[in-house]
Structure 1
Amino acid sequence: MKIQMLDLSEQYKSMKNEIMEKMDEVMSSSRFILGDNVKKLEADVAEYSNVTYGIGVGNGSDAIHISLQAAGIGPGDEVITTAFTFFATGGAIVRAGATPVYIDIDPITFNIDPSKIEEAITDKTKAIIPVHLYGQMADMITIKKIADKYNLVVIEDAAQAIGASQHGKSVGELGTAATYSFFPTKNLGAYGDGGMIVTNSTDLAEKASVIRVHGSKPKYYHHVLGYNSRLDELQAAILNVKFPHLDEWSQARRERANYYTESLNKQLIEIIQTPIEKEGNYHVFHQYTLRVPNRDELQEYLKAEGIATMIYYPMPLHLQPVFKDLGYKEGDLPETEKATKEALSLPMYPELKQEDQDFVIQKIIEFYLK
């Protein structure tokens, strides 16, 4: 591809020496599990999220699963969430023994539609998992009001949204807990898997810290069934080098997103829908995602021109074969199903060159106006 979805090489070059130095420090210390680098990252990310606790875990999927278990969600419980998300959201609910209840999305943001939540609540409902898709927070103000009214746990799936905020409130401030992924492609990415739970709940933080080490406290004494899911010390060291640059990278993403939007809207505003940042939101643009007609044809056209794009997500969770026993059928979530046929994500990363953006923009305009 001439233009990749994501190129991490420039970022690495800019901090290679510092990263290698920190990795050597870890190697020399011989402290590889839950050491000082993990503790520092947990404290820094919690402070950044305006919450009290950070609990480093093996990946973003485990962060959701462990949060649910620590919040007491299990067999017989229902968890309301969105079907327009990565599999980990629904998978974590089932792994915890609970049942996902999928509701439709807001067609503007692709996020869970709060107006659909109350009608989905039953006496088995114990939690809501809003997903802050593509880097923009779901309507947490409304979701929190509903959760408070029905005494529900809220776990924010913020795998794509570290640094996002809503009316001055950070990810994690309005929910019971929030979960991050440090997968390499994320806005704050490690060089392997990693994740974190952030929360103001002392009880949830303590339970999550025990669950991540096989449910052991003290060591070799197990009162709950836990997992081996710890953030690696080497990955934490790398993330500690990258973390101070996060706000700068988020701003660079926003600038590139604005450039895409302004340029595309000049000629295609009646044809395509560029991302809309809801009032009061700070969108960190993990992905820059369009709604377009003839999506698959456009993707093939761009591919032939050497431009990488991605479809997040081609099949919604409620129609996935693994969830067929839940009884959903095509047509149950019309906005979600429509989005799977129209959403297309363009190249997006902080180092993306304007000349490359110009080429992408030119080819999209050519496709629709040729």
Structure 2
Amino acid sequence: MTYDTTPRITLRGDAARYAGLTEQILEAVLDAAEADEFLLKSRVARFESALTDALGAVHAVGCASTTGAVLLALNALGCGPADEVVVPAWAPDALFSAVVRAGARPVLVDVSTEHGAPDAADLAGVTGPATRAILLGPAGTAEVRARLHEAALRLGVPVVEIGGPEPRPARAAGVTTVLPLGPDDLLGGIGDAAAVVTDDDAVARGCRMFRNHGQDPQVRFVHHHVGFNCRMDESVAAFLLRRLPELEARSTRMRQLTDRYTRALRNAGADLVVLGPGPCLSPRGGLTVRTALRDQVRARLAARGVESAVPPFRPAGDRGMPDAFPGARRLMEEALALPLHPGLAPEDVDLIAATVAECHAGLRETR
């Protein structure tokens, strides 16, 4: 006898998110093919313009991936072999690889176990004359990010962050935001993609050149830099243009679900901390919590048909420095991603929160 072990409540809700979109996907692909435009042409330009309008930004530079977008931003800021870039000790490997590919040296800073991002007060101790940029991953609430931006501004160091779709008419000075646009992200594209969002003319111009092998944005085959191929596909841009009007509603829905989770988990116990979905509001990362009962919680959720995951962040402790970054080490051992996506039903949030609370109630009873 075999049993169906497919979760009823999935982490990202991918199947439900793309149900009914077949015609839109085919239309986007056929539109680009019939126009004989496949890379970095009119649909990409229209999407960039529409995205700047939606976010209240000056520039949006479409590119092929989130990792590539981070590298573009670092290149545009002039990062090179003599430079250092501050990176959270608990972050995706892609951030570290982007810094190394830019030729700079990553300088690690520990993270808070209360929100998963560095504390603003710790930035001064890891920056110096060689610091070219501070790189922030997807962790940290809007309030935490604001404090980090203020600290970086005082230090005179620009920030590159994996950020979210929040409209920011008064954008933080010196901050370049990378907005993920892949299939697992908020809009849900049909291929890997991202955008660099900035109000800095020089950063935008640099990103536009570096994404196309260092080529001048206006004059073909005139190359100012050694760049690489990080161009956005036309069919991807065409599909994202169709999805963009849903951005505000999807963002609102994710915030509502996060608030519901937070209220439901509030009484789960002192051993559980809601780290939040971060500014990306992305289904990719789910709602991240810290719990000393991670294995027990995962097992009980799985028994009820709920998918969960350990965030794929390796702390600096796995890079040969086991005692230098206790916050990162603890999050590696206790962080857990719970389902969070725009299609998640409120009653599913309540079920998940109740299951987590049961585990913590059992721990309190044994004390």
Cα offset, 1:14, TM superposition = 4.9
Structure 2 residues not aligned, in runs of 5+: 1-6, 363-367
Cα distance between partner residues in 2 of 1:29 and 1:205 = 27
Q: Secondary structure at the match of 1:85?
A: strand
Q: Secondary structure at the match of 1:209?
A: helix
Which residue among 49, 58, 62 is the counterpart of 1:52?
58
Which residue among 27, 36, 43 is the counterpart of 1:37?
43
Cα offset, 1:27, TM superposition = 2.1
Cα offset, 1:260, TM superposition = 2.0
Deviations 1:94-145 (Å, cap 9, x if unpaired)?
Answer: 11000111111233221121111001122211211122427x3363444344
Per the alignment, residue 9 of structure 1 pairs with 15
**Paired residue type of 1:240:** L
Q: Identity percentage over the alignment? A: 24
Per the alignment, residue 215 of structure 1 pairs with 214
Q: How does 1:346-361 map to 2 (within 5 A)?
A: 346-361=338-353
Deviations 1:139-171 (Å, cap 9, x if unpaired)?
Answer: 34443444334432221222xx22276xx755x
* Count, aligned residues: 352
Deviations 1:241-297 (Å, cap 9, x if unpaired)?
Answer: 11111111111112222222222224x1434223469xxx98836521111112123
Task: Work out whether 1:21 is the aligned partner of 2:19.
Answer: no
Cα offset, 1:15, TM superposition = 4.5
* Contact kept in structure 2, 1:73 and 1:98, CA below 8 Å: yes
Question: Cα 1:358–1:141, aligned 2, differ >3 Å: closer, same or farther?
Answer: closer
Question: Cα 1:315–1:296, aligned 2, differ >3 Å: closer, same or farther?
Answer: farther
Per the alignment, residue 193 of structure 1 pairs with 192
Per the alignment, residue 274 of structure 1 pairs with 274
Question: Cα 1:292–1:140, aligned 2, differ >3 Å: closer, same or farther?
Answer: closer
Which residue among 75, 81, 94 is the counterpart of 2:81?
75
Cα distance between partner residues in 1 of 2:111 and 2:167 = 19
Task: Work out whether 1:305 is the aligned partner of 2:266.
Answer: no
Per the alignment, residue 161 of structure 2 pairs with 156
Per the alignment, residue 284 of structure 1 pairs with 281
Deviations 1:181-239 (Å, cap 9, x if unpaired)?
Answer: 21211112212111111111212211211111111233233231010110111111111
**CA RMSD between the two structures:** 2.4
Question: Cα 1:314–1:37, aligned 2, differ >3 Å: closer, same or farther?
Answer: closer
Question: Cα 1:253–1:140, aligned 2, differ >3 Å: closer, same or farther?
Answer: closer
Cα distance between partner residues in 1 of 2:101 and 2:120 = 25
Per the alignment, residue 248 of structure 2 pairs with 247
Cα distance between partner residues in 2 of 1:314 and 1:208 = 27
TM-score, normalization by structure 1: 0.87
**Paired residue type of 1:120:** V
Cα offset, 1:18, TM superposition = 3.7
Per the alignment, residue 133 of structure 1 pairs with 139
List, as ranges, runs of 4+ consecutive aligned residues in structure 1 with deviation greater than 3 Å: 13-20, 136-150, 173-176, 281-286
Question: Cα 1:320–1:232, aligned 2, differ >3 Å: closer, same or farther?
Answer: farther
Cα distance between partner residues in 2 of 1:59 and 1:137 = 23
Question: Cα 1:138–1:77, aligned 2, differ >3 Å: closer, same or farther?
Answer: farther
Cα distance between partner residues in 1 of 2:144 and 2:313 = 24
TM-score, normalization by structure 2: 0.87
Cα offset, 1:346, TM superposition = 0.7
**Paired residue type of 2:353:** I
Cα distance between partner residues in 2 of 1:263 and 1:65 = 39
Cα distance between partner residues in 1 of 2:174 and 2:20 = 35
Per the alignment, residue 258 of structure 2 pairs with 257
Task: Work out whether 1:88 is the aligned partner of 2:94.
Answer: yes
